[in-house]
A = this chain, B = another copy of it.
Amino acid sequence: MESGVVVGVDIGGTKVLAGVVDAQGRVSSTALRTTPGRRVVTAQVEDALVEAILGSAGGRPLAGVGVAAAGFVDSRGERVMFAPHLPWQGEPLRRLLEERLDCPVALDNDANCAARAEAHHGAARGATSALMITMGTGIGGAVLLDGNVLRGANGMAGEFGHMQVVPDGQACECGKKGCWEQYSSGNALVRNARALMAEQPSVLDEMSGGSPERVTGPMVTSAAEEGDLVARAAFATVGEWLGVGVANLVAALDPEVVVIGGGVSAAGDKLLDRARSALQRNLVGAAHRAVPSLVAAQLGPQAGMIGAALLVR
């Protein structure tokens, strides 16, 4: 790292965000590209990645590049095995980018990167052990021990969203039933709100032009901020299930702190207060132990990029 800049890049289903990240986790110049999507050849995705990386560096030499990818990354950090929204299937992305960029490149899953960033520069800083729960469309997560992400034997640790919480419950995209993310996620929030709209009036009626199927997560967040009862009830259920699932993970892992990130966490204490109370009620031996604090992530949408940069430091 003696000369040149370190770039972190986060590639998701819709966009590539790259930025120059310093040793304190501060982001200076960034560059954004849209992701070409799933039905393209992989070279086009790599082109978008390279453009975003070089764009953020702005002509400065690259000391190293870290990549956070929304997909399953093999346990050695070489390949994207499968990505729901991208065309990769076992592509040796790390080596391909290293050849094109002529600098060291490191690769990890985006949820792991975000967790690593929160551990080093955000809400889990200083904690010996932490859990990161990322609430987006579904639930992603990571186990942090001494600032390191637990990868697991297949590089698949942290799939908290697919722990079963209801026997024979809601069908999940993964093919199973009753997965936690069916009860506590952006999708669950929207489903709860739609169901409640059938029963009582809500500002969501107007926001969605009278079409419950047009309701989105951000609409529910904004309606809840206005005090809408339907939106608040939708958050209460998601928050309750968040606390139940966190209590299960805390029983198993006893972390110092639990960090909640992802789009749904933008609701802040509307979500977290309910989750804290459910955690307290559902955690075994809560009266005889320190119940971990449940806090909002601090780095927002830049967490993946910042954590990717940490891979090459």
Chain A residues at the B interface, C-beta cutoff of 8 Å:
72, 81-82, 128-129, 141, 143, 145, 150-160, 162-167, 174, 176, 179, 244, 247-249, 251-256, 282, 284-285, 288-290, 292
Residue of B with least CB distance to A249: B252
Q: How far is the CA of A121 from the CA of B10 in the complex (A)?
A: 43
Structural contact, A251 and B154, CB atoms closer than 8 A:
no
* Number of copies of this chain that the complex holds: 2
Interface centre among A150, A151, A158, A179 (most CB of B within 10 A): A150
* B166:A253 contact, CB within 8 angstroms: no
Q: Which of the residues B164, B165, B179, B253 comes within 8 Å of A157, measured between beta carbons?
A: B253
**Residues of B contacting A128 in the complex (Cβ-Cβ under 8 angstroms):** 153
Per the bound structure, the CA–CA distance linking A160 and B129 in Å amounts to: 18
CA distance A143 to B143 in the complex (A): 12
Nearest CB to that of A257 among chain B residues?
A: B153
Return chain B residues, CB-CB under 8 Å to A167: 165-166, 244
Q: Are A247 and B143 in contact (CB under 8 A)?
A: no
Least distance between A85 CB and chain B CB atoms (Å): 16
State whether B292 touches A156 (Cβ < 8 A): no
Chain B nearest CB: distance from A249 CB in Å?
Answer: 7
